[in-house]
Amino acid sequence: MFRGSITAMVTPFRNGLVDEKKFRELIDFQIKNGTTGIVPCGTTGESATLNFEEHDRVIEIAIDQAKKRIQVIAGTGSNSTEEAIMLTRHAEKAGADASLQVSPYYNRPTQAGLYAHFKAIADSVKIPIMLYNIASRTGVNIEPETIAKLAKDCKNLIAVKEASGSLDQMSRIKQLCPKDFELLSGDDSLTLPVLSIGGTGIVSVVSNIVPKDVAEMVGEFEKGNIKRAREIHYKLLPLIKAVFLETNPIPVKTAMGILGMCEPGLRLPMCPMSAENQEKLKKALRDYGLLR
């Protein structure tokens, strides 16, 4: 179900509020450039600082603007199982194609707790669910054995966005899970290696600014044009490194502001990028040909 380049969308703000008009424009930009799906209200979308009303509204806007032209995978995870179920039920009712569920953060549940959390959410809805494993932010890793048990016991839990950075772990997931369970890269720099071990795509940050290139890289790999996919990978790599100079989404939103794509405003505790790193980011944008 989940293939190609899926963009983890930024949430544009204007005067501290969600900029609905700009968000709709950014979605159309993604569609026009070959993106296969979008994730509103993920890490890149600053979901942690959206209130419930804003969170629901951003997902509704995404669904309305996408109009089934591309998939909308709503970020509805939480460290509270009850809240995650509430958000996911809303996304399902609003018409989302699927849900992205990040592992609970801060409370650091055991593997048994992770299993119970995700199973409760999967049992509460019918839409497909993609797990999101990112221990660097949440403090807990979803072990491959736990993912495999969930994939076996929950029919609608069908994929994982893996941001552990470990190809060894991702290989174990592919080995332990059912053949149709989908693995997607959660790190832009690892997209090509993940595809090589059986991954189906990427949930990308850098595709906020270069969606066509990310989509092309995945597409060329799928067509067997490995040489061309590798060329795009190495072209993208310096830009990818630049958009992770500081905590995501600070650099990518700053880049979008520099390129005139949206206001670069962030919500505290996310703060403006340092002047030194901004210069490095501008150099990467110039080198890529995006900025004169």
List residues with catalytic annotation. 132, 161
Element (H, E) at 124: helix 111-124
Residues in contact with 256: Cβ distance below 8 Å, sequence separation at least 6, in sequence order: 10, 208, 209, 262, 264
Q: The tokens of 291 are what?
A: 């900025």
Euclidean distance between CA atoms 185 and 285, whole angstroms? 23
Residue 128 in contact with residue 158, Cβ under 8 Å?
yes
Handedness of CA 127, 75, 52, 117 (dihedral sign): positive
Q: What dihedral do alpha carbons 97, 188, 266, 13 form, nearest 10°?
A: -40
Give helix then strand counts, H and E, for the chain: 12, 10
**Across the chain, which distance is largest between two alpha carbons, in Å?**
53
